[in-house]
Amino acid sequence: MELRPILSTLRRHKLTATLLVLQAALTCAIVCNVVFMIANRLQRISVPTGIAESELSVIPSASIEEGENPQARHAADLAALRGVRGVQSAVAVSYSLPLDRSESSSGICPSKQALDRAMQLNTIEGSGCMQPAVYDGTPGLVGTLGLHLVAGRDFRPEDYVSQGKPAVAIVSRALAQHLYPGKQALGQSMYDGDNYIRIVGIVDRFLRPNLRSPGVDEDSMIWPQLPPGSGVLYVLRTAPGDRARVLQEGSAELLKLNANRLISAARTQTYEEIRAAYFQRDTTMIGLLLASALGLLFVTALGITGLANFWVQQRTRSIGIRRAIGATRGDILRYFQTENFLIVGVGIALGMLLAFLLNAELMQHYELARLPLFYLPMGALVLWGLGQLAVLGPALRAAAVPPVVATRST
């Protein structure tokens, strides 16, 4: 294909071609960054929690009976809930579940020296101590949540305390590694202020209720403390198909047992709803980002088609002349395709530069990571493909112009 005629034609339409290049460049820059943001959000919302998400449901219950022993109330409630058809197991937790937002955390140190260092620095940062999320719960928590114990043992009945701090704990693998890098964590004693807590078990993965940063999101520990307050979350494990019914029957059962309690209907939900609520902003954002990326590509395709249409109409006579002096339909088709390839190509080159500038700006203001290089060739391919698709219609129309047009005057 001879490029010179194309270039000289484009020189005569400098302003229009420049605008098209500019549009392709902006689209390339924005779409590359938007797709990158979508990928980031997708990664964020697919974070694993380590629990059997599809089999869990929760009923929040807060007793308002005055002068009642809360732990006796929980035991009675749990007995009733286990009697509901379809409930495989049930436990009560007082603080939270992964991604349930309200979090109880505690400064935990691997050794006395680290604790002293933290006291001296007046912060746990840089002391070797960590701030894991702390989960409590009634016996059977590990099994009900479906946590995967990779070392050590589950709690024994004698481990549980109803008041004060327990002497043992199960930690997530991430916390074990962060507290005791390169060492065997099982059996170590962690310092929680003046108390020490022995690690008796390690679970594969257990996410925090509230995400902080990817490095510490899996730092959590469970200790065998029975929920002390009147407000608890009853966690029920059932087959996925039983969840809706069990939630309904379970709430009714609890109210039948003792009506003097508050059960928030809005928070009586499956675990999947808790998860969806946590990432709701991200899902909204993904939808919006996707819509704007598609919108941009659509508008750019419209622009290319519209402009190509004009140019074909404008050049009908010269196309006819070219046909008359021997150009084939394929030559004409390829002419318009190459022209589009060139324009979009210049746009892409400029767009890649803009993409990096935009990325740098976003990194500064919106905590976005650096755009990986492989997004650029992918963006280029998408834009080239889109350009070819958009120009195909007008180019085919151009190829269909009969040579006889050359003999007519406009």
Partner 1 sequence: MFGYYLDLALRSLKRNKVLTALMVLAIGLGIGASMTMITVLHVMTNDPLPGRSATLFTPHLDPLPLDYKHRSDGPDPTDNLTWPDAMALLEAHLATRQAAMAGGSLLVRPARADVRPFRVDGRYATADIFAMFGISFEHGQGWSAADDASRTHVVVLGETLDRKLFGNSGGIGQVVRLGEHDFRVIGVTADWQPQPMFHADLSAQSFGDADQFFLPLTAAVDLKLPTNGNQSGWGKDDAADSMTSANMSWLQFWVQLQSPGQVQAYRQFLLDYSAQQKALGRFQRPPTEAKLYSLMGWLAHRNLVPTDVRLQLWLALGFLFVCIVNIMALLLAKFLRRSGEISVRRALGARRRDIFLQLGIESAMVGVAGGLSGLLIAQLGLWSVRHRPDDYAQLAQMDTSMLLGTFALAVAASLLAGLLPTWRACRVPPALQLKAL
Contacting partner 1 within 196-225 (CB under 8 A): 212
193 part of the interface to partner 1, by CB under 8 A = no
277 part of the interface to partner 1, by CB under 8 A = yes
Please choose, from the candidates 93, 12, 16, 27, the residue with its C-alpha nearest in 3D space to the C-alpha of residue 60: 93
66 part of the interface to partner 1, by CB under 8 A = yes
Q: How many helices (H) and strands (E) does the chain have?
A: 12, 11
286 part of the interface to partner 1, by CB under 8 A = no
Q: Which of 43, 69, 104, 123 binds partner 1 (CB under 8 A)?
A: 123
Q: How far apart are CA 308 and CA 289, in angstroms?
A: 28
Nearer to partner 1, 208 or 237 (CB): 208
285 part of the interface to partner 1, by CB under 8 A = yes
Please choose, from the candidates 408, 248, 406, the residue with its C-alpha nearest in 3D space to the C-alpha of residue 327: 406
- The count of residues interacting with partner 1 (CB under 8 A) is 47
303 part of the interface to partner 1, by CB under 8 A = yes
Closest distance to partner 1 from the beta carbon of 230 (Å):
11
295 part of the interface to partner 1, by CB under 8 A = yes
Q: How far apart are CA 399 and CA 303, in angstroms?
A: 20
Residue indicated by tokens 């084939």: 328
Q: How far apart are CA 320 and CA 293, in angstroms?
A: 39
Nearer to partner 1, 26 or 199 (CB): 26
Q: How far apart are CA 200 and CA 153, in angstroms?
A: 6
Contact 92, 233 (CB under 8 A): yes
302 part of the interface to partner 1, by CB under 8 A = yes
Q: Site map for partner 1, 337-376, x if CB under 8 A?
A: -------------------------x--xxx---------
104 part of the interface to partner 1, by CB under 8 A = no
Selected range binding partner 1 among 141-149, 175-183, 191-199, 285-293, rule: CB under 8 A: 285-293
Q: How far apart are CA 145 and CA 220, in angstroms?
A: 14
Please choose, from the candidates 74, 58, 59, the residue with its C-alpha nearest in 3D space to the C-alpha of residue 229: 74
Closest distance to partner 1 from the beta carbon of 16 (Å):
5
Nearer to partner 1, 181 or 298 (CB): 298
Closest distance to partner 1 from the beta carbon of 404 (Å):
21
Query: What string of DSSP letters covers 104-137?
Result: -B--BBSSHHHHHHHHHHTSSTTTT-B--EEE--
Query: Can you say how many angstroms the Cα of residue 80 is from the centroid of all Cα atoms in its chain?
Result: 37
By DSSP bridging, strand 231-237 and strand 149-152 are unpaired
101 part of the interface to partner 1, by CB under 8 A = no
Nearer to partner 1, 15 or 373 (CB): 15
Nearer to partner 1, 188 or 305 (CB): 305
102 part of the interface to partner 1, by CB under 8 A = no
Query: Can you say how many angstroms the Cα of residue 273 is from the centroid of all Cα atoms in its chain?
Result: 15
Q: Which of 76, 187, 310, 378 binds partner 1 (CB under 8 A)?
A: 310
Q: Which of 30, 58, 312, 391 binds partner 1 (CB under 8 A)?
A: 30
404 part of the interface to partner 1, by CB under 8 A = no
27 part of the interface to partner 1, by CB under 8 A = yes
22 part of the interface to partner 1, by CB under 8 A = yes
3-state DSSP assignment of residue 328 = coil
Query: What string of DSSP letters covers 31-46?
Result: HHHHHHHHHHHHHHHT
Cα–Cα distances in Å, from 128 out to 70, 116, 117, 167, 214? 37, 11, 8, 21, 18
Q: Is residue 232 within a helix (H) or strand (E), and if so which, with residue range?
A: strand 231-237
Nearer to partner 1, 161 or 301 (CB): 301
Q: How far apart are CA 269 and CA 265, in angstroms?
A: 8
Q: How far apart are CA 51 and CA 101, in angstroms?
A: 16
* Site of interaction with partner 1 (CB under 8 A): 13, 15-16, 19-20, 22-23, 26-27, 30, 34, 64, 66, 122-123, 125, 212, 260, 262, 277, 280-281, 284-285, 288-289, 292, 295-296, 298-300, 302-303, 305-307, 309-311, 313-314, 362, 365-367, 410
